Amino acid sequence: MSSQHEVPSYLTPSDIGPWGVYLEQIDRVTPYLGTLARWVETLKRPKRILIVDVPIERDDGSIAHFEGYRVQHNTSRGPGKGGVRFHQDVTLSEVMALSAWMTIKNAAVNVPYGGAKGGIRVNPKTLSTAELQRITRRYTSEINIIIGPNKDIPAPDVNTNEKVMAWMMDTFSMNQGSTATGVVTGKPISLGGSLGRREATGRGVYVVGCEAASRRGIDIRGARISVQGFGNVGGIAARLFAEAGAKVVAVQDHMATVVSDSGLDIPALEQHVAAHGSVAGFAGADQVEDRARFWETDCDILIPAALEQQITEANASRIRAKIILEGANGPTTPLADDILHDKGVLVVPDVIANAGGVTVSYFEWVQDFSSFFWTEDEINQRLTRIMREAFTAVWQLSEEKKVSLRTAAFIVGCTRVLQAREMRGLYP
Ligand SMILES: NC(=O)c1ccc[n+]([C@@H]2O[C@H](COP(=O)([O-])OP(=O)(O)OC[C@H]3O[C@@H](n4cnc5c(N)ncnc54)[C@H](O)[C@@H]3O)[C@@H](O)[C@H]2O)c1
């Protein structure tokens, strides 16, 4: 994607990537920001970018170097917060966009954080467990100077998990000489993690999905669901919809697309993925060779829960779903948004739909500070309440202003961030 925007010298204007999508979204919300629009440039520039070299010794004795990033987009409302992604295609543009979406998301659901994100350009599936530990620890040491429980709190994202968070927490703690559980969230329960965190993003997707479906007159019992990405977010969302009586008719991951008109057996599919690393070869379904056909699945709700820029002008017109629930960050481009809007497809944007993860991360951080831990019921109830309230506020604003749910969510989020900026004033 190329850009009409002022692009920083460290990005390529002709290939601006996900950051360009984010800038376009900010342009679309700016007319609704009133006098706060005077501050909007602050949202178009990340506050701080750290690029680090991550060298490790491989198991065979060779030395390998990887590129790592941590971007703090905005800290007007509180410390930076956002995941760490290990993926061979991670770029600076992508991490910038993901950090900015965290700023908007945290403000839209009103948790007291700014936005941040990190990543390493590596395919972790090519590393042994020992190498994965070394790369995680070296990366954590390199970004150690800008993270901390009151500065910036990483969490899991694509290809990172509880184990990676435990190593990050340990490395930070070793460097500072005392245990700091609050430096990352998404930790194992035994190390200050929170009950319900692993399922939180998928649960949030499910909760807002039910809200959106009821407003569109769709009964979840018997509703047809298709899911792209069967990891932490897509897998849990699929399970919760199936438990509520929906039929998950198609699942696509990085290897394969599996379909079943009568509904996939989700617990069996989860077991298959745990054993084989992919949905490929799952016996209880048909496999579709042409990956692009996934987007044409006859369904009520489509959940993109893999990577960004999946729904584009190339496939949006073929989508048959009535609702798109964005489990992934940035899965839909602005041009695709326009096509879906014209077709009457309701898009529930990432900054609301997948905010359940950061909401329970916030609970985890609060529990770590007070060293007092809540029950899973308390966590799920509070999560459900926050998600419903955030969705309802955004829904009402979208009706009132006659704008998409994305623009409404951005109005709520940007307004909170820029109000904080205005109240704090510009330093010095
Ligand atoms: N983990 C969280 O708490 C969280 C919170 C908010 C948003 N998200 C977003 O949700 C998305 C998924 O994150 P996750 O934590 O579930 O990651 P994950 O690593 O657990 O799972 C990713 C899934 O996507 C699939 N995938 C990867 N590339 C694909 C491709 N090209 N086509 C189809 N499928 C592909 C993988 O096979 C896997 O099933 C990301 O956009 C992430 O930023 C995650």
Q: What is the pLDDT of residues 388-405, one digit of tens each?
A: 999 999 999 999 999 999
List, for residues 38-62, the tens digit of each pLDDT value: 999 999 999 999 999 999 999 999 9
pLDDT confidence bin for 5, thresholds 50/70/90 = confident
Percent of the chain at pLDDT exceeding 70:
99
Residue 119 CB neighbour total at 10 angstroms? 28
Q: Is residue 18 assigned to a domain?
A: no
The whole-angstrom separation of Cα 197 and Cα 194 is: 6
Q: What total of structural domains would you count in the chain? A: 2
Mean pLDDT over all residues of the chain? Answer: 97
User: Distance, CA 239 to ligand 1 centroid (Å)?
Assistant: 15
Q: Please tell me the predicted confidence (pLDDT) of residue 298.
A: 97
Q: Please tell me the predicted confidence (pLDDT) of residue 79.
A: 98
Q: Tell me the mean pLDDT in the region 263-280.
A: 98
Sort residue 344 into left (φ over 0), alpha (ψ -120 to 50) or beta: left
List, for residues 198-237, the tens digit of each pLDDT value: 999 999 999 999 999 999 999 999 999 999 999 999 999 9
Q: Please tell me the predicted confidence (pLDDT) of residue 302.
A: 98
Q: What angle, 0 to 180 degrees and rounded to 10, lies between the N-to-C axes of helices 162-176 and 129-143?
A: 50
Residues 62 and 169 in one domain: yes
Place of tokens 């070793």: 174
Residues 245 and 330 in one domain: yes
Candidate of 253, 310, 312, 364 to mutate for ligand 1, largest count of ligand atoms within 8 Å of Cβ: 253
Active site residue 117: yes
Residues 207 and 151 in one domain: no
Residues 158 and 207 in one domain: no
Q: Which domain, by its residues, includes 222?
A: 199-348
Residues 149 and 208 in one domain: no
Q: Is residue 165 assigned to a domain?
A: yes
Percent of the chain at pLDDT exceeding 90:
98
CB 306 within 8 A of CB 254: yes
User: Distance, CA 117 to ligand 1 centroid (Å)?
Assistant: 15
Q: Is residue 243 assigned to a domain?
A: yes
394 alpha carbon, distance to own chain's centre: 18
Residue 221 CB neighbour total at 10 angstroms? 9
State yes or no: pLDDT of 351 exceeds 80.
yes
State yes or no: pLDDT of 370 exceeds 70.
yes
- Please provide the size of the chain in residues: 428
34-52 b/e with 16+ CB inside 10 Å = b? eebeebbebbbebbebbeb
Q: What's the CATH number where 101 sits?
A: 3.40.50.10860
Candidate of 273, 307, 359 to mutate for ligand 1, largest count of ligand atoms within 8 Å of Cβ: 307
The residue from 314, 348, 382 where one domain ends is: 348
Q: Tell me the mean pLDDT in the region 253-278.
A: 98
Q: Is residue 359 assigned to a domain?
A: no
> Helix H segments across 91-248?
92-108, 129-143, 162-176, 197-215, 232-243
Q: Please tell me the predicted confidence (pLDDT) of residue 284.
A: 86
Q: Which two structure tokens, joined as six digits, stand for 32?
A: 């609704």
State yes or no: pLDDT of 2 exceeds 60.
no
State yes or no: pLDDT of 71 exceeds 70.
yes
The residue from 329, 348, 367 where one domain ends is: 348
Using DSSP's 3-state secondary structure scheme, residue 381 falls into helix
The residue from 299, 322, 348 where one domain ends is: 348
Residues 289 and 225 in one domain: yes
User: Distance, CA 305 to ligand 1 centroid (Å)?
Assistant: 5
Residues 86 and 226 in one domain: no
pLDDT confidence bin for 3, thresholds 50/70/90 = low
Q: Is residue 297 assigned to a domain?
A: yes
Residues 142 and 77 in one domain: yes
> Helix H segments across 216-344?
232-243, 266-276, 334-343
Q: Is residue 144 assigned to a domain?
A: yes
Whose C-alpha lies nearest to ligand 1, atom 13?
158
Whose C-alpha lies nearest to ligand 1, atom 17?
158
Residues 203 and 340 in one domain: yes
Residues 343 and 221 in one domain: yes
Residues 85 and 217 in one domain: no
Q: Please tell me the predicted confidence (pLDDT) of residue 211.
A: 98
Candidate of 96, 158, 282, 309 to mutate for ligand 1, largest count of ligand atoms within 8 Å of Cβ: 158
Residues 240 and 104 in one domain: no
**pTM value?**
0.96
Whose C-alpha lies nearest to ligand 1, atom 22?
231
Q: Is residue 24 assigned to a domain?
A: no
Pocket (CB within 6 angstroms of ligand 1) = 156-159, 201, 228-234, 252-254, 305-307, 327-329, 354, 357
Q: Is residue 313 assigned to a domain?
A: yes
Q: Tell me the mean pLDDT in the region 253-266.
A: 97
Catalytic residue among 81, 105, 117, 247: 117
Q: For residue 357, give the ligand 1 atom closest to its CA.
A: 3
